[in-house]
Amino acid sequence: MDPMETRTRIVATADELYNARGIQAVGMDELRSAAGVSLKKLYQEFPSKSSIVMAVLERRHRSWAEGLEAAVRRVPGPRERLLAIFDYLAQWFCEDSFRGCGFINSFAEVGAVDPEVARYAREHKASFQEYVGALADEAGAPAFLAPQLSILAEGAQTTAAIAGTADAAQQARRAAEVLIDAALGARAGRAA
């Protein structure tokens, strides 16, 4: 088997297992068995469990960024692009595999003992806020809107995971509409 294919399979399997049961609940032997590789091969590809966790987080970051970008670019207009964030969340929350944000979950589970996981989770969240900031800027909104919308999105993720329902995305979208319209109205009022 191709080494890249093996590595990809290990990361995909780890992602699935960690998402379903948590990082600490999944041992290396279980991961090896589920991925269909020898323990030797697993450790050749990933010298530690932390290195697998980081590969999973990198995979999740790429998937999140690509999915969000695709959802946002499908809609016309800067206001609609901001709201598309919440439409993307609604779609994600309805997936059978949704267990909340993998970055929040990883940070909560191992962030205190794995500074690399904590750092990467913070970077992921900062990149999301920067992305929302760029969309808000395109809409002509004041800088304070991006952190507000980011907090709404983060809260919706946590609420949806705990409640086990996708309703949080729609509620957050409605709140986002109010914030966006108020921010754009405030900007227009100052310009007049």
- CATH code, domain with 27: 1.10.10.60
- What's the whole-number mean pLDDT along residues 93-103? 95
Domain check: are 119 and 178 in the same one? yes
Contacts (Cβ under 8 Å, ≥6 apart) of 52 = 10, 11, 14, 31, 46
Which domain covers residue 156, as residue numbers? 60-191
Q: Residue 125: its pLDDT value, please?
A: 97
Q: What is the model's pLDDT at position 3?
A: 77
If asked whether residues 39 and 75 sit together in one domain, one would say: no
**Model pTM?**
0.91
Tell me, yes or no, whether 132 and 170 share the same domain. Answer: yes
User: Does residue 17 belong to any structural domain of this protein?
Assistant: yes
Q: How many domains does the chain have?
A: 2
The answer to whether the beta carbons of residues 37 and 10 sit under 8 Å apart is yes
Residue 186 has pLDDT above 80, yes or no: no
Query: Is residue 192 pLDDT above 50, yes or no?
Result: no
The answer on 65 and 34 residing in a single domain is: no
